[in-house]
Structure 1
């Protein structure tokens, strides 16, 4: 690959021969700065669920009514994630990322100071605005700051905290609620946010994309209603007694989604650019990654619930077992580059996709008499292989995306990533409840959890079809693999 092609793909500006450029910071430092912000967002999204009963008591409301504190955050994500790429092009990726950290930190402070539920919902909307910009723009900053040869290692460093956050959320929330005040759930974001803001200001370069015509305001409205309804519908499907509302919201989301697709065909620069799906590596990564995320979304919902309800473990003990997947994810970052260099993206994703999905299918056969060390070991390797998959998907997706479309691609990819994680919860909950209905159980039994695990992993296993469609040379200049 020529130097010019490399510069276009990474978003790094070219310079005349003989010009002395400012030394770029180490890619690991850049990845860790971005990862710290994403970890803060991912941890906060899951840690709150543990504290809702305690918060409900302080606010003088019923625990079920606290669900609006979760859904209000999802609303902000649904509305603003699609707009993140255009905003980053207009104001600069460093400026937007730094501002997103500041907004998220401010929202955290407001959440911690909330005197009632209404104020908390308002603060969560602000938090969601910051979170919606942090996820895709953070990935965009990484793509524009790191050379292609360092993509694999940088993405490995980036994705580990994002995978660890949802896993550590419940046990961390339980510890805070048990030994501290629930407000510390939000205060812990403040030092991380301040440090991240400073480091981004020092080490991240500014980059502005080219303006592509008038902002798609109507498209933003249609996509916001569609994605918001779908996310709410998927999230509510995991709650008992909310089936009717869930179905209604999903139906609204599909109707507005169809309206958006029709609108996007006639708009010169739609807020979500579906023409990106004509790029082979991007399309295959979106499709295979979406199917795989069904399992990733369902597993944090099903596994802790099964360990507590059927194994009789406390929330802290269940969290201690589930953390095995986080440890496996951490090991992955040291080996992903070597595997991809040896076998390439297509072969690696095909084989490891089977291993990872079948590994999570083993959760269907967990029983209380199994040794804890064996369950821990299986989950450890599941975390390793699943983390490898998402590292590879997040890299190869941008293999054929040029610099001008990088911001649109990150917005599009992040939107579907968030949607499919929520759908994973929906599928897991639906399979669990259907099994209970068929077997006439009012409370879930071990067999019901087994059915749910097998259903979600069977869906994710179909990602193999799309993995085999990757070109043998896909991402070869990134991984160093020679087909």
Structure 2
């Protein structure tokens, strides 16, 4: 009997009430952070009219938030170790609350864009530190199910964002997109203070300022360059800026790679890549996130530009993958225990690719039921992939290295999601310039190319060991 098959037959205890409570609280806070990445998209025209500018200029508010999310993540693990994870988590939520309220009161586009960057900085600490709290609270046999809960609402948020943004803008005004965070963050602060466990900080922890500078600016250069490259209004000047930012980002990250091998405790521990399960999860998960990261932006755009849907109607359709992702929550742990990581990731990666291609090829006006089923299936498979990669990464990481692994994993996760958004935009931009290609065909080919990338991520799983992550699925109560 194989290790994977044995794992599937092992009786596994359910999550303890304490672990389940911690996972749900952190998941709810992740929902708030991820929601703000997409919620303003349908509100940009109304925001531009109110602030005396246009939607194109205000698209920088999305870029600023992505930049903020990227810059501080490499430092998150060290900050949690130095000041205590619960203290840093609480401070990040408080900063997110204040910056959100300030965004709602902004009277100038430049001020709003700057505040969105601050909001992103706060969000950058919320995700990795919250995940670290769950990793420390959960027993080994609880890790898969606990992390499924943690990422559940975070995966749904980008899909819900456009719908909620359109709803709030239509009935209450665009400023409520930011003000809605006030009661959400106040509730989150109460739950964190009341229920989450805390780990004391250590004054012995040292900050790698040089490494943090190189990685922060390097990631910022890549994200900024990719976003500008995907903007169809940038012109030659915008393209030059994009390529310069990309080149600068790559040079800075290459410099960090040289630097990290020469210091004892770099901010991103590249030595973690010697851990096979961590390396496999980083590689396959990165390709998958690049393939699907732009779907929450691409889908409403296709429905509005290609089929004439209103922002509110498009937002309702975008909820379908979110429903699929939520329903997977009840099956992901059992499926992984039955199939194992390698087979589970392979099959669901192929299924996600097929559903994405089908959604791009179908017209919602001509085959609505099949179209909705394809979107549901995509959300279903995407949910398992995110959970599986997110737990496999920590399968063989020792407890003392969890903070470093979390910072590393989430830094690359945010970067690859931003790359997915930019890749979708770049593909649309290039394809729309091909003679004889109309809007619908440019979107179709974009879906097909992204589907091919998702398929490639699935095939990468064939290189994994058959028993990869088996001890996470076997109900073991200790980690060797």
- Structure 2 counterparts to residues 19-34 of structure 1, below 5 A: 25-34=17-26
- What is the TM-score when the length of structure 2 is the normalising length? 0.91
Q: Assess if the C-alpha contact under 8 Å between 2:63 and 2:224 holds in 1.
A: yes
Alignment gaps of 5+ in structure 2:
1-14
Cα distance between partner residues in 2 of 1:63 and 1:347: 44
Cα distance between partner residues in 2 of 1:432 and 1:64: 16
Q: Assess if the C-alpha contact under 8 Å between 1:176 and 1:184 holds in 2.
A: yes
Q: Secondary structure at the match of 1:291?
A: helix
Picking from 442, 450, 453, the partner of 2:447 is 453
User: 2:397 maps to which residue?
Assistant: 401
Cα distance between partner residues in 2 of 1:91 and 1:43: 27
Q: Shift of residue 70 of structure 1? A: 2.2
Q: Assess if the C-alpha contact under 8 Å between 1:79 and 1:225 holds in 2.
A: yes
User: 1:341 maps to which residue?
Assistant: 337
User: 2:9 maps to which residue?
Assistant: none
* 2:480 corresponds to 1:474: no
Q: Assess if the C-alpha contact under 8 Å between 2:92 and 2:125 holds in 1.
A: yes
- What is the TM-score when the length of structure 1 is the normalising length? 0.90
Deviates more, 1:326-335 or 1:237-246: 237-246
Q: Shift of residue 391 of structure 1? A: 0.6
Q: Shift of residue 240 of structure 1? A: 0.7
Q: Assess if the C-alpha contact under 8 Å between 1:344 and 1:481 holds in 2.
A: no
Picking from 351, 355, 360, the partner of 2:351 is 355
Cα distance between partner residues in 1 of 2:189 and 2:257: 37
Q: Deviations over 1:389-429 (max 9, x none)?
A: 11111111100001111011111111111111111122222
User: 2:76 maps to which residue?
Assistant: 84
Cα distance between partner residues in 1 of 2:272 and 2:201: 17
Cα distance between partner residues in 1 of 2:63 and 2:340: 40
Q: Assess if the C-alpha contact under 8 Å between 1:81 and 1:136 holds in 2.
A: yes
Q: Shift of residue 213 of structure 1? A: 5.8
* 2:217 corresponds to 1:225: yes
User: 1:8 maps to which residue?
Assistant: none
* 2:341 corresponds to 1:309: no
* 2:171 corresponds to 1:179: yes
* Superposition RMSD in Å: 2.0
User: 2:378 maps to which residue?
Assistant: 382
Cα distance between partner residues in 1 of 2:188 and 2:277: 32
Picking from 423, 432, 435, the partner of 2:431 is 435
Alignment gaps of 5+ in structure 1:
1-22
Cα distance between partner residues in 2 of 1:314 and 1:57: 19
Cα distance between partner residues in 1 of 2:240 and 2:299: 26
Picking from 95, 98, 105, the partner of 1:103 is 95
User: 1:330 maps to which residue?
Assistant: 326
Q: Shift of residue 95 of structure 1? A: 1.1
- Structure 2 counterparts to residues 172-251 of structure 1, below 5 A: 172-208=164-200, 214-242=206-234, 243-251=239-247
